[in-house]
Amino acid sequence: MKEEILTHLNDPGQLEKMYRTNKVPFKREFSTLYPELKGNILADFWHERLAYENDEINWGTNRELLFVIIASVLAGSIAKLPSFLSINVDFFYPRNIGFIIFPVLSAYFAWKNKLSIGKNIFISGAILVGLIFINSLPDVKQSDTLILSCVHLILFLWSILGFAFVGEKGNNEEKRLNYLKYNGDLVVMTTLILIAGGIMTGVTINLFDLIGLKIEKFYSQNIIVFGLPAAPIIGTYLTQTNPHLVGKVSPVIAKIFSPLVLVMLVIYLVAIVYSGKDPYNDREFLLLFNGLLIGVMAIIFFSIAETAKATKSQAEIWVLFLLSVVTVVVNGIALSAILFRISEWGITPNRTAVLGSNALILINLLLVTVQLFGVLSRKANLTKVRKVIASYLPIYCLWALIVTFLFPLLFGFK
């Protein structure tokens, strides 16, 4: 859309048509371009028009509302399948929890972006293949490859959702970064919805309790089971129709938490030395260490992706650079611990999966760190950092595919 805006910059009629056809993407892409267009009378007009704050909530069209309602009911019905069909919950939920949310969200964006028939078939086919595969794996009580496949299947479904989100421009780096920003906004919005839902649940149960009616079991089995999957669906709908709702909250959260996480991480690394904890021989500690690594990496990437501006303050860049350096150190420790465990006790599915994940993350972090250093030394700009993050996302998708579909076969379902 950027190219179209630039092409028709002096054509008010065409710009208006583009805006009315797809308001949210138009506003997002125009905001990205505006720093370069400042001074152009028509561009200044559009900037003021799009920047105008409207306190009213946009509830979208009736078709959109109907879609959200149907999607929420469908997601809740999928979550209730064990009750409807007497399926073992221990079998159903670990394998299928991702199918409660991701397919309906993928359908939403496929519909909103008016994807071609071919891409719709690809999305549907990929989800169906994942569904059949994961439910065809042997039902054994202890299987590392089954657990790995279930976990990475969620990442695979997340990648399919991203494919639907970027629309027809799959190679558009800005769209990929907007997908990361959408995920951050969705976390904020869904958390707010869940907090509000939790308050309502407490009030409702206690009100009925006052008149002698115990509704806890009924409420959890019939209201909460539909409400939980509905939260991210409604959150997605609100973030897309009202980007201003969390558009200013998410950047603030990123700015606050980035330096705090940096301080915490440095203190944590020092504390590890004094505590005597050993990631080389303590498996549980190593797992928590890797969880910390992934969380910090997500904060770094979101902090870079959260803004459409190509520049940040020097202080912010320094925080992100130092956070990246410290995270590389954490990754290096985790990677060496995994290699040590493999050399001592051999290759297992878990060790192989963690080794591959850490190696990919380390490469990505190093690339980001180098680009951030280039920004600090004024040899590069933030656009290159964003480009590195965006171009690397498909590699994570490929790794998720390998672990989900090949690991069970390669390791004999162990």
Closest CA to 375 of 363, 362, 388, 364: 388
Task: Judge whether 334 and 358 are in contact, CB under 8 Å.
Answer: yes
Percent of the chain with pLDDT over 90: 37
What is the per-residue pLDDT for 56? Answer: 62
Question: Which residues, other chains included, contact 320 with Cβ-Cβ below 8 Å and sequence gap of 6+?
Answer: 258, 300, 303, 304, 312, 372
Chain centroid to CA 198: 23
How many CB atoms are located within 10 Å of the residue 64 CB? 17
* pLDDT per residue as tens digits for the range 252-262: 777 788 888 88
pTM: 0.82
* Cα separation, 413 vs 407, whole angstroms: 8
pLDDT surpasses 50 at 227: yes
- The pLDDT of residue 310 is above 50: no
pLDDT digits (tens, 9 = 90+) for 3-35: 788 887 778 888 888 887 777 678 777 877 777
pLDDT tens, residue by residue, 73-86: 999 999 999 988 88
- Which of 247, 298, 303, 312 has the alpha carbon at shortest distance from 28? 247
Amino acid identity at 144: D
Is pLDDT above 90 for 296?
no
Tokens of 368: 């980001």
Residues 150-164 pLDDT 10s: 999 999 999 999 999
Angle at 8 between CA 6 and CA 13, to 5 degrees: 145
pLDDT-derived band at 308 (thresholds 50, 70, 90) equals very low
